[in-house]
A = this chain, B = another copy of it.
Amino acid sequence: MKAGPDIALIASLLGDPARANMLTALMGGQALTAGELAAQAGVTAQTASTHLAKLEAGGLLTVRRQGRHRYFALSGSDVAQVLEGLMGLAIRAGHQRTRTGPKEPALRQARVCYDHLAGDLGVAMLDGLVRRGLIAEQGENLSLTPAGQDFTMEFGIDPGILATSSRRPLCKSCLDWSARRSHLAGALGAALLDRIYALGWARRLPDSRIVSFSPGGLKHFQRVFAT
């Protein structure tokens, strides 16, 4: 009846709870083994295997063999973007997940969204960058100002990412499902989070998307971005 790409085929891949859990776990950006994903999804290894095969066939996941493990990762940031969009639609409809664990507050404060910082601290960072005139905000579009370029140098970011030659956009706004405001994504967002790790301000909690700031690291973060 209609021409065009087949939405239903890949949307049905995201429509299963087990597969959705796996993809959400992979939103952390790092590759996970089949066993880890099975545990995250709450299913046995057999079912996880079939699910992962389907996701790979659908082009949503890439696989890398390493020893007797198979590491799965999202096949690209476009996949992560669609997942974020779906999360946005889900909260708008008021359909939250029922089970809300003890880690929830920590997730709301600071978590990783594919490869950049999200949560309250994520939106605070973007707010600070805009307030200080380092990033220009024009509706939904973000761009790095000349002053912002100086700042990234001082902060220790590799200047190479400023080259517009790369396919990935430098600054990108990403709607935060917990704060319902935007935080900074794109190559710069990823580089800033990397630098925060390198400075020892924060670290990833294992098996979780939570970004845990040390007391001292949080102070530094506040000083740089919240003044």
Contacts and interface: CB of A to CB of B under 8 A. Distances in A.
A216 interface: no
Interface in A1-52: 1-17, 19-21, 23-25, 40-42
A17 B107 CA distance: 35
**For this complex, into which size category does the number of interface residues on chain A fall?**
35 or more
A115 to B, nearest CB: 16
Contact of A25 (B2, B91, B94, B100): B2
B59 A92 contact: yes
Contact of A58 (B3, B93, B99): B93
A112 to B, nearest CB: 13
A5, A21, A103 pick with most chain B CB within 10 angstroms? A5
Given A3-B101, A3-B103, A107-B4, A16 B23 contact: no
A14 B23 contact: no
Interface in A36-93: 40-42, 58-60, 78-79, 81-83, 85-93
Contacts of A6: 20, 90, 95-97
A169 interface: yes
A86 B20 CA distance: 15
B8 A16 contact: yes
Contact of A5 (B1, B10, B19, B95): B95
A5 B97 contact: yes
A149 interface: no
A14 B11 contact: yes
B9 A90 contact: yes
A85 B87 contact: no
Nearest to A108: B3
Interface stretch (A126-134, A138-146, A152-160): A138-146
Interface of A: 1-17, 19-21, 23-25, 40-42, 58-60, 78-79, 81-83, 85-97, 99-101, 103-104, 107, 138-143, 164, 168-172, 177-178, 186
